Amino acid sequence: MFYYEKKLQYPVRVSTCNPMLAKFLIEQYGGADGELAAALRYMNQRYTIPDKVIGLLNDIAMEEFSHLEMIATMIYKLTKDATPEQMVAAGIGDHYVNHDKALFYHNAAGVPWTASYIQAKGDPIADLYEDIAAEEKARATYQWLIDISDDPDINDGLRFLREREVVHSMRFREAVEILKDEQNQKKFF
């Protein structure tokens, strides 16, 4: 059961209309290492993970959905006042022609989101290492977005998201150690 509170996990502020920055943020919306792929990956993997860590995957998946909402809000605010000419100049004229200013799941290069971004091996340790890698890739992408952004308000939200990726990576590392300890215990029947 879910309870939706009509506020973002962290406030999203935008200094100015900037469709070019929105184009780059779309990577975290519909890219391979973005928030949608992460949320769906963790929701999917929780069905084959041991009970000791199932709650962790569920909790982080839900948080990733809230990050997706933050990214969507950033993109919307960066483009809502943009003219068609600004959208074309930013390199997202094709997006505008197909979707106006509506969000659509694709990466910064315009490649549509695909389920092949979701990894699930069925081996808990392998899946958790995949999750650690996904969080570290998302952290790196947030850092690169901060590096190219000149919007201090957007950067505040991006720093928050980057730090949450670090926390998720650490939590997945803890889960690996829990499962490794369980594997090494002698079993008596």
pLDDT, tens only, 20-47: 999 999 999 999 999 999 999 999 999 9
Residue 133 resides in a domain: yes
Q: Residue 187: what pLDDT?
A: 60
Residue 9 resides in a domain: no
Kindly list the distances between the CA atom of residue 120 and the CA atoms of 38, 77, 97, in Å, as whole numbers in the listed order: 11, 34, 35
Query: Over 70: is that where the pLDDT of 186 sits?
Result: no
Residue 73 resides in a domain: yes
Query: Over 90: is that where the pLDDT of 2 sits?
Result: no
Residue 86 resides in a domain: yes
Eight-class DSSP state of 117? G
H/E segment holding residue 65: helix 51-79
Average pLDDT for residues 139-150, to the nearest whole number?
A: 98
Q: Residue 4: what pLDDT?
A: 73
pLDDT digits (tens, 9 = 90+) for 5-16: 788 999 999 999
In angstroms, the CA 105 to CA 86 distance is 21
Q: For residues 22 and 120, which has the higher predicted lDDT (pLDDT)?
A: 22
168 annotated among ligand-binding-site residues? yes
Query: Over 60: is that where the pLDDT of 171 sits?
Result: yes
63 annotated among ligand-binding-site residues? no
Domain with 24 in it: what CATH number? Answer: 1.20.1260.10
Residue 5 resides in a domain: no
Q: Residue 188: what pLDDT?
A: 59
Give residue for tokens 């391979």. 32
Query: Over 80: is that where the pLDDT of 75 sits?
Result: yes
Residue 183 resides in a domain: no
Asked if residues 135 and 142 have their Cβ atoms less than 8 Å apart, the reply is no
In angstroms, the CA 43 to CA 118 distance is 10
Q: Residue 182: what pLDDT?
A: 79
Query: Over 90: is that where the pLDDT of 53 sits?
Result: yes
User: Can you say how many angstroms the Cα of residue 159 is from the centroid of all Cα atoms in its chain?
Assistant: 13
Query: Over 90: is that where the pLDDT of 170 sits?
Result: yes
Asked if residues 155 and 100 have their Cβ atoms less than 8 Å apart, the reply is no
pLDDT cut 70: percent of the chain above it? 96
Domain assignment of residue 27, given as a range? 19-108+119-161
pLDDT cut 90: percent of the chain above it? 90
Residue 188 resides in a domain: no
Residue 100 resides in a domain: yes
67 annotated among ligand-binding-site residues? yes
CA angle 20, 34, 7 (to 5 degrees): 85
Nearest partner of 2 among 86, 98, 66, judged by Cα = 66
81 annotated among ligand-binding-site residues? no
Into how many domains does the chain fold? 1
- Give residue 119's pLDDT band: very low, low, confident or very high (50, 70, 90): confident
pTM: 0.92
Q: Residue 19: what pLDDT?
A: 97
